[in-house]
Structure 1
Amino acid sequence: MKSKFLIVAVITISTLMLSCSSGNGDFDATGTFESEEIIVSSEASGKIIKLDVEEGMLLKKDQVVGLIDTTQLYLKKKQLLASVKAVISKQPDINTQLASLEKQIEAAQTEKKRIENLVLSDAASTKQLDDINNQLEVLHKQYAATKSSLTITKQSLQSETLPLYAQIEQIQDQINKSKITNPIEGTVLTKYSKLEEVTGVGKALYKIADLSLMTLRAYINGDQLGSTKLGQNVKVFVDNGSGGQKELNGEIYWISSKAEFTPKTIQTKDERANLVYAIKVKVINDGYLKIGMYGEIKF
C-alpha cells in the first residue's frame, strides 16, 4: 500500500510540475524579466527639505521631486552681487568728465573764428590766431588723453567683475543642482533617503525604472544561435497565477557575441548544454510583468 501511495504521489507531483510549464516543457529558452534601472543621486550637499518620492510612485521625466537646502548658496550669491555692484559704482562717467573739456574746445573754436575775422579786417594780429590754434591743439590732446585714461580705468574695473560673475554662475549652477529632477518617466523601485536627512554629492536618493517595456534575459545554446536573429518576433509565456500561462509578444533586440556557462537558475532547450548565449527580448508590459519574474520563449 505504501508503494502504491508513493507512486500516486510522484505522478501527481510530476503532473503539477508539467502543468506549470508551457506546453509540457515545450519551450526554446527561459529567463527572467529585468528593466533598465537608474539610481538617482544627489548633485549637491546639504539637508533635504523636500522629497516627494515614494516606492511605487509613477514619476514623469524632468519632474522636480525634491530640493536640498540652498540658504548658504543664496547668501553667498547675494554677497557676490553686492561686490559686483560696488566695483561698478567705481567706474567713471566718461561723458560727464569729458563734458567740461568739450565746452572749452567749443569756446576755443568760437574764439578762433572771431580772431580769424579780426585778422581779415586787420583788427587782430596773426600771433593771436597762432595762440588760439595752439590752445585748441592742447585741448584736443588733453581730451584724447583724458578719454583714454577714463576708458582704461573703466575697462579695468569691468575686468575685476568678470571673476565675480564667474563665481555667481558657479553658485547658480549649484543652486540649480540642488533641485532633484527626475531623469526618466518610470516607477520608483526603492527609496534610499528621507526628508530632513543630510545628503552629499553622489549619495543615492532613489532608484527608478521604466516598467512599461520589460526585458526578458534568456539563454540559448549554440545550435539555436544560427536560427536566431535581431528583430525576430517570439512568443513569451509567463504563469498567469491560475495554473495556466499568459502569452505575450516579444522581439529579440540583443544577442551576446560571447558564450558563457549556463546559469543554474536558467534552462535551455538542451539542458545539458554547458555553454550558452544570452539574448534580450523586449516585451511590452501591460502591468502584469514584474522584475525577477520567470518567462519562457518559443521561437
Structure 2
Amino acid sequence: MKRIVYIVAAMLAVSCGTEAKFDAQGTFEATEVIISSEAAGRILSFDIKEGMTIDAGEPLAVIDSVQLHLQRSQLEAQLSALLNSRPDVQTQVASLREQIATLKVEQRRIENMLRDGAATEKQKDDVDAQIRILESQLSATLSTLNTNTSTINSNAEAIRVQISALDDRIAKCRATSPISGTVLVKYAQEGELATVGKPLVKIADLGNIYLRAYFTSDQLASIKLGDEVTVTADFGGEERYDYVGRVAWISPESEFTPKTIQTKDSRANLVYAVKIAVENDGRLKIGLAGEVKL
C-alpha cells in the first residue's frame, strides 16, 4: 500500500515540475528585405560586408552603365539636331507678308484713283487677284511649316521619353537600401555579372524585432492588440532575459501547432500566430527562442 502511495506522489511531483511556466512559445523574427539588381552588367563597386549596419537610401552596389550613358549621348545629339531643323516660320513667310502689305498699299491707292476717275476697274481687279494669290500662298506655306514644326516637336518629345527611360535605367545601376538595418547575407561579389532580378544582399531591421508566438483559441480571449506582455529570451543554459513586449498583430486564421513549439495546453492541435514587438537591446537575434507570459 505504501508503495502505491509513493508512486502516485512521484507522478504528481513530475506533473507539477513539467507544467509550463509560460503562456506561449515562439521564435524571434525581423523584417527582412532581399535587394535584387534592377540592371544587368558587371558589378563595379560592392563594398558591403555581412554584419554591417546601413541606413535607408545608402548606396550598396554600382553596376556598369557606360553603354547606357553612350546611348543617352546619342539621343541628346539626335534631339539637338532635330530641334535645330525646326523651320523659322516668321522668317520664311516674311517675304510673302511684305509683298501682300505692298500690294494692299497699291490697292488703296488704286481705289482712291478709281473714285477720281484716274484708274480703271481692271487695275483694281488685277491688284485684288494678286493679293488673293499671295494670301493663298501664305496660308499654304504657314500650314506646311506648322505641320513640319508639329512633326518635329512630336519626334523630339519621343526622344525625350527615350532619354527619361535611359535615365531611369542608369539610376537603377546604383542599388540602394530601402530600409535601415543590418546586412545578413551578401549574395554577390564585386566583379561578378549582375542580371535583372539577381539577389544582391539581404537586410533586416534588427532594431525593431518581434517574437512570433503561438496561442490557443482559449488564450486569445485574454489578449488584444496593444497589450503589454513579458517576453523572455532563451539564450541557452541559464541565460534568460526578460523584455517588455506589445502585441502588434494577431492572425485571423488558425494553423496546426508547429512541431518545434510547445503550448500551454499540450493537447491543442490548432493555434493562432501572434506577433509581439520587442525593442532590441542588441542581444536578440533572428531565430532565438522566446516565451511569453501574459
What TM-score does the superposition give when structure 1 sets the normalisation length?
A: 0.85
* 42, 62, 71: which one aligns with 1:67: 62
Residue 75 of structure 1: CA displacement?
0.9
Residues 69-122 of structure 1: CA distance to partner in whole angstroms, max 9, x if unpaired? Answer: 111111112112222333333332211110100110111122223223333433
Q: Match of 1:180?
A: 175
Corresponding position of 1:128: 123
With over 3 angstroms needed to count, the CA separation of the structure-2 counterparts of 1:199 and 1:244, relative to structure 1, is closer
1:81 equivalenced with 2:72 (yes/no) = no
Query: Please, what is the CA RMSD of the aligned residues?
Result: 2.3
Aligned residues: 279
* Structure 2: unaligned runs, 5 residues or longer: 1-13
Who is 1:287 aligned against?
A: 282
Q: Find the aligned partners of 1:97 and 1:275 in 2 and give their Cα distance.
A: 85
Following the alignment from structure 2 to structure 1, what is the Cα–Cα distance between the partners of residues 238 and 107? 114
**Partner amino acid, structure 1, of 2:58:** Q
| SS of corresponding position for 1:35 | strand
Please give the per-residue CA displacement for 1:195-226, whole angstroms capped at 9, x wherever unaligned. 11110000000001111111101112233233
Q: Distance in 2 between matches of 1:148 and 1:166?
A: 27
Q: Is the 8 A contact 2:235 2:289 kept in 1?
A: no
Identical counterparts, % of pairs: 46
* CA displacement at 1:177 relative to structure 2: 1.3
Question: Greater CA deviation, 148-157 or 258-267?
Answer: 258-267
1:63 and 1:208 mapped to 2: Cα distance? 12
> Is 1:214 paired with 2:209?
yes
Name the aligned partner's letter for residue 213 of structure 2.
A
Give the match for residue 3 of structure 1: none
- 2:178 match: secondary structure: coil
Partner of 2:185: 190
**2:225 equivalent in structure 1:** 230
2:253 corresponds in structure 1 to 258
Q: Does 1:164 align with 2:159?
A: yes
Per-residue deviation at 1:257? Answer: 3.3
Structure 1 alignment gaps of length 5 or more? 1-13
Deviation of 1:36 (Å): 1.3
Give the secondary-structure state (helix, strand or coil) at the position aligned to 1:209. strand
Q: Which letter does structure 2 place at the counterpart of 1:118?
A: M
1:253-290 Cα shifts (integer Å, max 9, x gaps) = 22233333332322222334333222211111121211
* 2:252 match: secondary structure: strand
Render the CA deviation track for 1:109-140: whole Å, top value 9, x for unaligned. 22223223333433322322222122112211
1:143 corresponds to which residue? Answer: 138
